[in-house]
Chain A
C-alpha cells in the first residue's frame, strides 16, 4: 500500500514538473512583453516630444518670418527680410519631418494638411503685403486690411499648432496611462504567480520528504526481511541437510527391512514348509498344528514388513508426476488382484477415468489398496460388488477438502456392498496400524489405508471414508483438477 502511495506521488511530481515548466515559460513571456512595452513607451515619449518640438519650431519660424517682414515694412531695410527669406526652406523641412513622424496617425496627417494649407495661405498673404509695401501708390488702408488678414491667418495657424500639440500630449498621456496600468498590473500578477509556485514547491518538498522517509522505512523493512530470509534460508538449509540425512537413514532402514529382517523370516518359512511337505514320523497332530501356527505368524510378520516397506515407499521424497491414463492404472490394479477377484466372484464396475499427472505406481497402489480393502471386508454370503465413479466437483461442497471453495477436484469414489463400519470410526481408518477388527476375523496389518492417505496427500488431494455398519462403505478420493 505504501508503494502505491509513492507511485501516485510519482504522477504528482511529473505533473508538477510540467506545471513548473509552463509557469516558467509564462513568466518569461510576461517579462519579455513587459520590457517590450517599456521600450514602446520610451519610443512613444520621444516621438511625441519630437512632434511637439517640430511644431513649435514651425510656429517660431512663422513668427520670425512675420516679425522680419514687419521690421522691413517699418524700416525698409532688407536685413529684416532675412528670416522671411529663409523661412520657406525651413518650413518645408519641418513639414517633411512632421509628415514622416505622423505616418501612423491619420488624424495628425489630416491636421497637418490643414496646417499646410494655412501656412501656404499665410505666405501668400506675406507676399501680398510685401508687394503692397513696395508699391508706394497703394493705399495704406488696403495694406492694413491685408495685414489684418495675415494676423487672422497667423492666429489660426497658432491655434492649429497648439491644438495639435495638445492632442499629441493628450494621446501620449492616454497611452502612458494604459502603459502604466499594464506595467503596474504585470508585477502583481507575476508576484502572485511566483507566490503560488512557491506554495506548490513547498508542498512538493514536503511530499518528497515524506516519501523519502517512507522509502527509508520500507528499505529498512526490506533489509530486515532480507536478513530474516537469509536466516530462514540458513534454517531451511539445515533442515534440508537433516532431511537428507534422515532420508538416507530411512533408505538404510528400508534396506535392512527388505533384506536383513526378511532373511531369517524367510528361512523360518522355508524350513517349516519343508517339514510340512515331508511326512515325518512321530509328529503328532498337535505339533502339526503348532507348525501351522508358526507359519501363519511368520506369514503375518512377512506381510507387516512388506506393508511397512510399501508405506515408506509412499513417503519417498522423489515424486515423478507423469500424465497417466487412470483407466490403465485401474486395469493394472485389477490384474494384480485377479486371483482374489475370481475367488470371491467379485463384480467390479468402473466409469471412464481421466488422464491426469500422477505418480503412476503410487496410484496403482492406491487402487490396489482400496480394491483389496473392499474385497476383504465383504459380507460372507454376498458376492462383492464394487463401483468406481469419477466426476468433477467444487471444493466448497465437500468439507473434507481444505481448499478454496471455488477450486475444482476430481472425485473418485469406490463404493462396495461389504460389511461397512461404524461411522464414528471413519476418521481413524487412515491412522497407521489402526484396525476395526480382530486379526482372526479379517487378516490385515492396518497399514493399507494409511498408505492410501499418504499417496493421496502426495497428490495434494484428500481422502474420506463414508460407511454404515452392514451397508457397505464408500471411499472418496479428491485430486485437484489442474
Chain B
C-alpha cells in the first residue's frame, strides 16, 4: 500500500471548498490522487459505475443539492460493494444532531471545516495517516469528532 497513491474523493457543492481541499493536498507531502464531485447525485453515479475506481477515503459534505450527505452515507453503507469505504464527514456545522446522526449511520470521522488554511492542512494530513484498518475496528464516539487545535 505504501507505494500506491492514496485515492481520495471529495463530494462538496462549494467551489471554494473544493479548491481549498485540492490546494491543501497539493501542499501535503503525501502521495495522493484527489478527485472531486459537485453533489450527492454525482457522487452516487460515480460510485455505482461498473469500473469505478473506489476511493480509499471519501470526504462527504452534508449540505448538498439533489442528494445530501446523510442520504449518500446511508446508501453507501447499505451497498455491498461500497460499504467498506472509509467516510469522513466534512461539514461547516458541528451541531450535536449532525454528529450524532452521522455517527449512528456509520461515518468514521467527523471534521468541522476549519477557519484557516493551516488547520485544514493539519487535519487532512492527520486523516490520511490514520491507520484505517485499525481505527475502523473499534468505532469510538469519543474520537469521532476530529479536533485539531488551530495554530
Q: Which residues of A contact B (CB under 8 A)?
A: 254-255, 258-259, 262-263, 265-267, 269-270, 272-274, 277, 298-299, 302, 309, 313, 339
Contacts and interface: CB of A to CB of B under 8 A. Distances in A.
Interface string B35-60: 00000000000000000000000000
A273 B92 contact: no
8 contacts: A255-B93, A255-B95, A258-B94, A259-B93, A273-B115, A273-B118, A274-B117, A277-B118
A266 B117 contact: no
B145 to A, nearest CB: 14
Task: List 7 tightest A-B contacts by C-beta distance, closest first.
Answer: A273-B116, A269-B115, A258-B93, A273-B117, A274-B117, A259-B93, A263-B92
A19 to B, nearest CB: 73
Contact of B63 (A259, A274, A298, A339): A259
A263 to B, nearest CB: 5
A270 B14 contact: no
Interface string B88-115: 0000111110000000000000000111
A266 B91 CA distance: 11
B93 A266 contact: no
B16 interface: yes
A266 B113 CA distance: 8
Nearest to A273: B116
A269 B118 CA distance: 11
B132 interface: no
Contacts of A299: 115
B118 A254 contact: no
Contacts of B113: 266
B92 A259 contact: yes
B139 to A, nearest CB: 22
Contacts, number: 45
A27 B112 CA distance: 98
A266 B92 contact: yes
B87 interface: no
A277 B115 CA distance: 14
Nearest to B27: A277
Nearest to A306: B94
A106 to B, nearest CB: 115
B93 A262 contact: yes
Given A262-B92, A339-B149, 6 more contacts: A254-B95, A258-B95, A259-B63, A259-B93, A270-B20, A298-B115
Which size bracket describes the interface of B in this complex?
A: 10 to 19
Nearest to A295: B116
Contacts of A273: 115-118
Contacts of A313: 96
Contacts of B17: 267
B133 to A, nearest CB: 30
B120 interface: yes
Contacts of B20: 270
Contacts of A302: 115
B115 A266 contact: yes
A267 B93 contact: no
A267 B117 contact: no
A78 to B, nearest CB: 148
A270 B116 contact: yes
Contact of A277 (B96, B114, B117): B117
Contacts of A277: 117-118
Nearest to B91: A259
Contacts of A298: 115
A255 B117 CA distance: 24
A270 B92 contact: no
A102 B23 CA distance: 146
Nearest to B150: A273
A410 to B, nearest CB: 27
Contacts of A259: 63, 92-93
Interface in B11-41: 14, 16-17, 20, 23
Contacts of B115: 265-266, 269-270, 273, 298-299, 302
A274 B16 CA distance: 13
Nearest to B63: A259
From A255, A266, A269, A339, residue with most partner B Cβ within 10 Å:
A266
Contacts of A258: 92-95
Contacts of B120: 270
Contacts of A267: 16-17
A319 to B, nearest CB: 14
Given A258-B92, A258-B95, A263 B117 contact: no
A277 B121 CA distance: 12
Contacts of B117: 270, 273-274, 277
A423 B92 CA distance: 41
Interface string B65-90: 00000000000000000000000000
Contacts of A263: 14, 92
Nearest to A298: B115
Contacts of A339: 149
A49 B118 CA distance: 143
A274 to B, nearest CB: 5
Nearest to B14: A263
Contacts of B94: 258
A291 to B, nearest CB: 13
A263 B23 CA distance: 18
A299 B16 CA distance: 19
